[in-house]
Structure 1
Amino acid sequence: MRIILAPMEGVVDHLMRDMLTRIGGFDLCVTEFIRVVDQCYPNKVFYRMCPELRNGGVTPSGTPVKVQLLGQSPEWLAENAVKAVELGSHGVDLNFGCPAKTVNKNKGGAVLLKEPETLYTIVKAVRDAVPNSHPVTAKMRLGFEDKTLAIENASALASGGADELAIHARTKVEGYKPPAHWHWIQTIKQHVSVPIVANGEVWGKEDADACLLASGCQDLMIGRGALAMPNLAQVIKHGDAPMAWKHVADMLVSYSGYELYGDKGKYYPNRIKQWFGYLKRQYTQAESVFQHIRTLHDPDAIVRILQNV
């Protein structure tokens, strides 16, 4: 089994990738998307989104990282994909699953699931441009408003040359509301020959087992679940016990030690509060701590509270 750390816009940045992969259990990370419109970006854009490119394309603990691109222009996506792999990305991933209204309004992400032909054209352009030694993968949902094009969309991506698909088992309209329809992935698998990675609503070992069984997949992509339980990948793979709350609190403190969140400070409070939104699902202690920090904006004050948990 492979477990892939999902791309989560505004949440799983290189700092979070570093922390989670140090715990172990992840075989690959996918970055937050780079929005491609009408240009090939300079190197600095890729380095800003994926600093791991300066380290051979791996996190400090050695987990490979793949750059994700989002857009509608086959030509520009292809050019940026070539740039990504030249800089050291372990392949390139294409985003056809983002449900954000702003992204969809500008014809990016999940809205393209209304147009199977466009999916095919984009993937083919990228696959033709990127050397065969580098995988081209795609992430999709089951559809935009409904699931009527689920099989056609997956087939279009596979026919275009995608080496692997990650499928979030909900439509755009369904967002993140339970349940995830894992059995739909099984249905799609019967119509495409490329490997599929199952994604959606995996919060623990039992969810992972149920997802693999219902989807017929061997591999998982997890995102929110890993934020709620930082060692979830190890829990799933090796049966480890969920990380103790004290160790989670220590992680929250260490998060402040990174340059971006320590010296500059302004991002740390919001990111920590955002993280608590997920932790509250798994740890009863998180709610009471959150009530103490929710109105605070001083990073040092938040760290002092966390140090005394």
Structure 2
Amino acid sequence: MTYYLGIDAGGSHCRARLVRSDGVVIGTGQGGAANARIGLDVLYDRLRDVCDQAVAQAGLGTDEVATIRAGMGIAGISRPGVRDALEGFAFPFASVAYETDAFIANLGAHGGRDGAILILGTGSIAQVRAKGRDFTIGGYGFPISDEGSGAALGLSAMRHALRALDGRTQATPLSRAVTQRFDHDTARAIAWMDAASPKDYGSFAPLVMDHAEADDAIARSIVEDAVQHIERFIETIFERGAERCALLGGLAPRMQPWLRARTVASLSPAAGDALDGALFLAGYRANGR
């Protein structure tokens, strides 16, 4: 019996799924953020932790662990030097293959076939597999990139809210809800911004969507601007040769109703998730395919 281990290591969580060669899931694991930005030592510890959880749940012995073929999708491994460092990580497995988290998400969404995904979460990025090539579109990092993402919505909400406090624009329920977090104090808002991460800005995204759906003028303008970026993302994905595209990420379900009907009609449902893609990367093929 051969065993396959898939790891999805992203900016907010790290998940593991361990299966037998017949596809039966025998172990899982879950932990915190596990991207390259947290430091290589911490990243290794997080990866080992979720691996150990899955192996312990499965009850595998040392000899069985040595047959595991692992596939790991890790956010941020395209940064200079990270892939080389990963090759030095010690795992007691038969093999370990590494790719980005977007790469395994695309593999999972289309079962390894040609296709693309647009991920709308805290950030945004498109991953494409077309005619033997794998490449990304966007995803350069906040605030330069990540158009249409939760962080971008939050940044726009902060800008509008501070202008409303100044009196440069008309205050709305959204602007008041944002500045309420800082007791409507501009200095406190600026102090927060000095240390705010993309995830912090992304925490405002549900608030923006709630108010947009309630017809708040500022919220609607923010979402409509984001939609233009998302529409252009999807157009570019098909222009670059993708046969199909799936919309993924925590923000996707709330954004999809704002897209044009013809754009929604061009999208395909995802066949699987990122852990399915990680298992595919490891070498697992359902039904022997």
TM-score of Structure 1 vs Structure 2, range by shorter chain: 0.3 to 0.5
Quick one: higher RCO (CA 8 Å, sep 6+), 1 or 2? 2
Which of structures 1 and 2 has the bigger CA Rg? 2
Q: TM-score, normalization: structure 2?
A: 0.32
When normalised by structure 1's length, the TM-score is: 0.31
- Between structures 1 and 2, the one with greater strand share: 2
